[in-house]
């Protein structure tokens, strides 16, 4: 079945089964590999993208629900990897293995767009949706705070 998607400001038509998670459409059909598969059941956040600016887990978003929505992946967050959150991530040297970091950055950037001056508790609460197996949580929280400055 064909679906029309707008991803990172470009229009695409994909031919996949209804019910296919957006995660697999992004990775397998559009070769946007920055969106990661971690758990597939909505618990880790590695697959986080923006749907109309909201952080959403793409493993839990069926392709048909992504039609007519502005989809942004980590590849489209900024032109040169210079979104304030990405700059803060580099400044704090957040990643260890790096696998979850795209999802973390997508979550943090959507959060800061809504709450540009969060306190520590708000940052911790917001970022609880995203798991880091290297437990780089202190650096993640610090980078979100730096991005907010
Ligand atoms: Fe989607 Fe883990 S892969 S939340």
Q: What is the pLDDT along the chain (149 residues), one digit of tens a residue?
A: 999 999 999 999 999 999 999 999 999 999 999 999 999 999 999 999 999 999 999 999 999 999 999 999 999 999 999 999 999 999 999 999 999 999 999 999 999 999 999 999 999 999 999 999 999 999 999 999 999 98
Look at residue 23 and give its three-state secondary structure: helix
CA of 65 to the centre of ligand 1 (A): 17
- Residue 6, burial from CB neighbour count under 10 angstroms (0-12, 13-18, 19+): middle
Q: Are 109 and 77 in contact (CB under 8 A)?
A: yes
Name the closest-CA residue to atom 4, ligand 1: 42
Residues at CB less than 6 angstroms from ligand 1: 37-40, 42-47, 57, 59
130 CA → ligand 1 middle, Å: 9
Q: Which two three-digit tokens encode residue 72?
A: 């942004």
Q: What is the ipTM of this complex?
A: 0.98
- The helices-and-strands tally (H runs, E runs) of the chain is 5, 5
Pocket test for ligand 1, best of 44, 55, 62, 74 (most atoms within 8 A of CB): 44
List the domains of the chain with CATH numbers.
2-76 (3.10.20.30), 84-148 (1.10.150.120)
- pTM (two decimals): 0.97
Q: How far is the CA of 125 from the centre of ligand 1 (A)?
A: 18
């Amino acid at each position: 079945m064909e679906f029309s998607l707008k991803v990172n400001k470009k229009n695409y038509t994909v031919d996949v089964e209804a019910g296919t998670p957006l995660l697999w459409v992004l990775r397998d059909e559009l070769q946007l590999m920055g969106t990661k598969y971690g758990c597939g059941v909505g618990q880790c956040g590695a697959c986080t993208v923006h749907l109309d600016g909201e952080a959403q887990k793409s493993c839990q978003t069926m392709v048909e629900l992504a039609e007519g929505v502005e989809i942004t992946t980590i590849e489209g967050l900024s032109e040169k990897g210079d979104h304030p959150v990405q700059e803060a991530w580099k400044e704090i040297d957040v990643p260890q293995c790096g696998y979850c970091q795209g999802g973390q950055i997508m979550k943090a950037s959507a959060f800061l767009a809504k709450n540009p001056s969060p306190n520590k508790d708000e940052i911790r609460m917001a970022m609880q949706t995203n798991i880091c197996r290297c437990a780089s949580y202190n650096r993640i929280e610090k980078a979100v705070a730096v991005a907010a400055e």
